[in-house]
Chains A and B, each alone.
Chain A
């Protein structure tokens, strides 16, 4: 399924055009349908309080998050049922929705409350796994405008940090000479596209040409995969490169879902979206001692925690696999 999203509301038409140009045979799903008819709305209505004069921003944000996750899950479930290539216009931030969906999936996973026939839970987990496998892609559209380009780089960084496969970034519409735009404005727009290309490299960036939305092949940027390499004294370095990271706020941490181990996940907060990356069996027995962020890359150095290693087993020579 290809999710199309636009940084500005006016770009949604371009987003759909770019998606259809990219996959001409795709069925277009209407996300507005998913939201309005979903039970999320009924739940929101259930929170009506007669006589109340204020609504908690947390509550509103929670309902919004629930609606976005529900919409994403519904669309993927419908796309799966259709069994054909589908395009869906997603009116919210895809990165934020994926981040919330993955948090929900992690909650289900950690709490162990998933039953085979538990409806929504199973579908949330299916959607989270599809994102991991790269079956849900993002095509983002932004206008050639300074703040929109910055926002696009943050959205790309957050989405790729969450493991979303990005098919491409379209810049639409470009100012045209035939429409009477002066040369300096056309040049400024082209300079912004160049900056965007450098900012989100290696994600494909294309601009509208001749008033037509660009099309993207399926050679989009693969899911960001972390690497683990062993350095001196049994220390290991977990590293990941995230396009657009240098233009985004970032926080790095570790978390454990299993009290038996010091670390089960690396947690990234990229542009306000939380991404959790599960670590392999070796890093589970290690603790972080240093974090370096350089450009678009993050490197975390781990050292073995002695009480997690049998005396006779050296802490070096682990599996080295990442994101297991």
Chain B
């Protein structure tokens, strides 16, 4: 059988092989709405970014004077080595005795 040489899927940009038939718009789906989930996370991130005041950072000459700006706060944190980030500890793997 002759095989047609095709470029790798990630290079071709040809997604015809993965095309799905158009679904009935009225048809319900029981699958998790992953894109909606990711979309909400992206939207939340956008709102958080806007609320942080980071967009105005270009006008901030002294980071310590702008605690409301997330970029300034990050710069102040990075320049203060005593400030330890509060993170959950990693798994503490234990030595095993085998009997």
Set of chain B residues within 8 Å of A55, measured between Cβ atoms: 10
User: Contact residue range for chain A?
Assistant: 35 or more
Q: How many whole Å from B24's CB to the nearest CB in chain A?
A: 13
B32 contacts chain A at the CB level, 8 A cutoff: yes
Assembled-state Cα–Cα distance A50/B97 (Å): 51
Known: A254-B91, A291-B95, A292-B97. A48 touches B31 (CB 8 A): no
Set of chain A residues within 8 Å of B32, measured between Cβ atoms: 39, 70, 73-74, 77, 119-120, 123-124
Contact present for B93 and A118 (CB under 8 Å): no
Assembled-state Cα–Cα distance A52/B13 (Å): 12
Q: How many whole Å from B19's CB to the nearest CB in chain A?
A: 11
A70-88 CB contact bits vs B (8 Å, 1 = yes)? 1001100110010000000
B15 contacts chain A at the CB level, 8 A cutoff: yes
Contact present for B31 and A39 (CB under 8 Å): yes
Contact present for A253 and B93 (CB under 8 Å): yes
Assembled-state Cα–Cα distance A203/B46 (Å): 50
Set of chain A residues within 8 Å of B15, measured between Cβ atoms: 45
Set of chain A residues within 8 Å of B95, measured between Cβ atoms: 291
B residues 46-99 touching A (CB-CB < 8 Å): 86, 88-99
Assembled-state Cα–Cα distance A77/B33 (Å): 12
A251 contacts chain B at the CB level, 8 A cutoff: yes
Assembled-state Cα–Cα distance A245/B99 (Å): 13
Set of chain A residues within 8 Å of B18, measured between Cβ atoms: 36, 41, 45
Q: Which residue of A lies closest to B10 (CB)?
A: A48
Contact present for A120 and B33 (CB under 8 Å): yes
Assembled-state Cα–Cα distance A51/B97 (Å): 51
Contact present for A119 and B33 (CB under 8 Å): yes
B1-35 CB contact bits vs A (8 Å, 1 = yes)? 00000000111010100101000000000111111
Q: Which of A187-195, A255-263, A305-313 contacts B (4 or more CB under 8 A)?
A: A255-263
Q: How many whole Å from A77's CB to the nearest CB in chain B?
A: 5
Contact present for B93 and A52 (CB under 8 Å): no
A residues 9-35 touching B (CB-CB < 8 Å): 34
Contact present for A120 and B93 (CB under 8 Å): no
Q: Which residue of A lies closest to B95 (CB)?
A: A291
Set of chain B residues within 8 Å of A259, measured between Cβ atoms: 86, 88-89
Q: Which residue of B lies closest to A127 (CB)?
A: B32
Q: Which residue of A lies closest to B99 (CB)?
A: A294
Partner of A77, one of B10, B31, B91: B31
Assembled-state Cα–Cα distance A293/B94 (Å): 12
Q: How many whole Å from B97's CB to the nearest CB in chain A?
A: 5
A252 contacts chain B at the CB level, 8 A cutoff: yes
Set of chain A residues within 8 Å of B89, measured between Cβ atoms: 255-256, 259
Partner of B13, one of A43, A50, A73, A110: A50
B43 contacts chain A at the CB level, 8 A cutoff: no
Q: How many whole Å from A164's CB to the nearest CB in chain B?
A: 20
Contact present for B11 and A50 (CB under 8 Å): yes
Q: How many whole Å from B49's CB to the nearest CB in chain A?
A: 17
Known: A38-B31, A118-B37. A253 touches B91 (CB 8 A): yes
Contact present for B35 and A42 (CB under 8 Å): yes
- B-to-A contact residues, CB < 8 Å: 9-11, 13, 15, 18, 20, 30-38, 40, 86, 88-99
The 5 tightest CB contacts between A and B, nearest first, are A120-B32, A119-B33, A294-B99, A253-B93, A120-B37
- A-to-B contact residues, CB < 8 Å: 34, 36-43, 45, 47-52, 55, 70, 73-74, 77-78, 81, 110, 118-121, 123-124, 250-257, 259, 267, 288, 290-294, 300
17 A-B residue pairings within 8 Å (CB atoms)? A39-B32, A39-B35, A43-B34, A43-B38, A45-B18, A74-B31, A118-B37, A120-B36, A250-B96, A251-B96, A253-B91, A253-B93, A255-B89, A259-B86, A267-B91, A291-B94, A294-B98
